[in-house]
Amino acid sequence: MAKEVSISYERVAPCVYRIPKSGAMRTEGRVYATPALMESIQADKSLDQVANVACLPGIVGTSNAMPDIHWGYGFPIGGVAGFDAEEGVISPGGVGYDINCGVRLLASDLRREDIAEKLDDLTSGLFRNIPTGVGSRRKDLKLGPSECRKAVEDGARWAVSQGFGVREDLDYIEENGTIEGADFDAVSERAFERGRSQLGTLGSGNHFVEIGYADEIYDEAVARAFGLAIGQVTAIIHTGSRGFGYQICDETIHLMIKAAQKYGISLPDRQLCCAPIGSPEGRRYFAAMASAANFAFVNRQIIAHWVRETFEGVLGLAPREHGLRLIYDVCHNIAKFEEHLIDGRRRKLCVHRKGATRAFGPGHPSVPEAHRAVGQPVLVPGDMGRYSYVLVGCGAEDTLGSACHGAGRVLSRTQAVKRAGRRSIVRELRDKGIVIQASSRETVTEEMPEAYKDVSDVVDAVHGAGLAKKVARLRPLAVIKG
Amino acid sequence: MESGFRPIDHTADAGIEAFGRSPEELFEQHFRGLISLLADPRAIRPLEERAVEVDGADREDLLVRWLGEVLYLVLAESWLPCEARVLDLGEERIRSVLRGEPFDPARHSVKLEVKAVTHHGLRIVEDGGVWRACVIFDL
């Protein structure tokens, strides 16, 4: 159980709050938020979690929280922390159950009016081609152990070699769609069994595929560099590593509770369990986590291929006519080895981002060459009724080059269902020009727009704090969900 | 409440608070709570038996790991249990028997994709002969 400590903080910049060291904290906390967001952040125990993370061995810099912070398990959702690659720890709770849950954005050569008459067909086409909801899968895709090994060790590259997408896609995926260090031998039989039929599936809850269009451009030059223009049709895919990653995280938490004891690491909360990065437990988790991250890259690569096929089938267009190309694919639940400038010194860190997005700035070698002059695209999905944002990373070293990942719920699922009463959310969205299809009516109600915070508040805080700058806003037209 | 369970309202996830007149009954009530989140228990017939044995660091860890086994049976092996009997509950080991049947898409549906059973804030407490614990599930 998290310690009941009241967390004190002070505002140090318009969108930055500092949590001073106290108790067992090895470093300070930093929360990036507007005063209005800080009001709601205080309401849960997430600030205690920022302080708890600051207690872990080997933490470098500060324990950071993005403006969409809310309480998670162990680490808060929206948490970013770097640990020394030699002396620090690695923690499955700092990544989360859905390893490499992430977002992929594609842009097309079509304009909103080109698909206006075909929205219903596009939606049902997507729904038919992309398995959504619990237990649903395509009968033409089930992995044997040797294919699974290749998929998780090679990542998106493997998917392209199997005909899912094109070679150029790989240039526009974080880490080019393959986290180095993945090892199928570190993956348990159970994770393989739970995940093998779930490759190429969306899942349920907040995962979605959304066709939309750019309705506002904030930075013309950067939008042009990304290949985004007003009125242009886009597609967003939000999903992760499915049961494969959940199982790896779950099993590792049990092992790491023991490991933390073995290495004498005292835990303010059991879900913060961790092990030294170089220990057998730490190395094994990294190899398994990287495998799940690659599984997620493959998953989004396959689904993107089916999005393209749906456009071709429904609209009768050739690939060069719809022009659907990757703008970017970002992870928002991940631990990675990165070099950062800390107090004037380059250091190798294991950066944990849980509900946070990498946001590297202009000139960084990890940013795709085509975007390098302006910075890395940062994708921030909102709810299915309002909008999502494309930002560009500023490479702020204070957050180890990180920004926010989404809106976050404001109503629980039960509250949402109660609030909706007899309303038809499907009809309400249709009245706003948005077509939605989902496996269950309940999911649509639980995921209704007002169940989420307004993502523009989060994005404004990130923009104001100089972590990432607003580039474009995307409006939904067609959504499929679990 | 002396014995039973109820759902906990949680902003992003889901939880079950359960009660029992013994630790064994507390575990069995948590099993019923989890199954009620995942499926319609009335649609599951107790046709087959499965023995489930789990080790853990302590009672709390055992509860999380045991419910995790149930979740794995449902989501990975497509086997739906409707009854659980705890045969032996120690500090570091639990032995139990589940009854249920294979998932049949014609009669069953899984309502919710529960990713995992968490340790979040979990403490088993006893008060006047009633055992109580809240378990949070990651959705």
Q: Residue B1: pLDDT above 80?
A: no
pLDDT more than 70, % of chain A: 99
Model's pTM, two decimal places?
0.96
DSSP symbol at A201: -
Q: Which of A207, A238, A352, A405 is catalytic?
A: A405
- Whether A2 is covered by a domain: the verdict is no
Contact B11 A243 (CB under 8 A): no
Task: Look at residue A77 in the predicted model and tell me its pLDDT.
Answer: 95
Task: Average the pLDDT over each of A37-51, A109-123, A461-475 and give the range with the smallest value.
Answer: A37-51
For residue A243, give its domain range. 10-481
Contact B11 A409 (CB under 8 A): yes
- E strand residue ranges, A85-183: 89-90, 102-111
The CATH number for A442's domain is 3.90.1860.10
Mean pLDDT within A78-82:
97
Q: Counting Cβ atoms within 10 Å, is residue B110 exposed (0-12), middle (13-18) or buried (19+)?
A: buried
- Whether A422 is covered by a domain: the verdict is yes
CA–CA distance, B34 with B44 (Å, rounded to integer): 14
- Whether A4 is covered by a domain: the verdict is no
Mean pLDDT within A291-316:
98
Residue numbers in B near A135 (CB within 8 A): 78, 103, 105, 110
- Whether A193 is covered by a domain: the verdict is yes
CA–CA distance, A249 with A101 (Å, rounded to integer): 13
Helix (H, G, I), strand (E, B) or coil at A203: coil
Task: Look at residue B31 in the predicted model and tell me its pLDDT.
Answer: 98
- Whether A315 is covered by a domain: the verdict is yes
Task: Look at residue A2 in the predicted model and tell me its pLDDT.
Answer: 42
CA–CA distance, A209 with A128 (Å, rounded to integer): 12
Of the candidates A185, A129, A171, the one whose C-alpha atom is nearest the C-alpha of residue A307 is A129
- Whether A313 is covered by a domain: the verdict is yes
Q: How many domains does chain A have?
A: 1
CA–CA distance, A191 with A296 (Å, rounded to integer): 13
Q: In the Cβ-directed half-sphere of B96, how many Cα atoms lie within 13 Å?
A: 26
CA–CA distance, A266 with A268 (Å, rounded to integer): 7
Beta carbons of A327 and A64 less than 8 angstroms apart: no
Contact A482 B68 (CB under 8 A): no
pLDDT digit string, tens, across residues A262-293: 999 999 889 999 999 999 999 999 999 999 99
CA distance B84 to chain A (A): 22
Beta carbons of A383 and A389 less than 8 angstroms apart: no
Task: Look at residue A138 in the predicted model and tell me its pLDDT.
Answer: 84
pLDDT-based confidence at A1, cuts 50/70/90? very low
Contact B119 A271 (CB under 8 A): yes
Beta carbons of A352 and A95 less than 8 angstroms apart: yes
- Whether A38 is covered by a domain: the verdict is yes
- Whether A412 is covered by a domain: the verdict is yes
Place of tokens 């789990």: B54
CA–CA distance, B28 with B82 (Å, rounded to integer): 11
CA triple A417-A421-A426, angle to 5 deg = 80
Q: Which H or E element spans position A414?
A: helix A413-420
- Looking at this predicted complex, what is its ipTM? 0.92
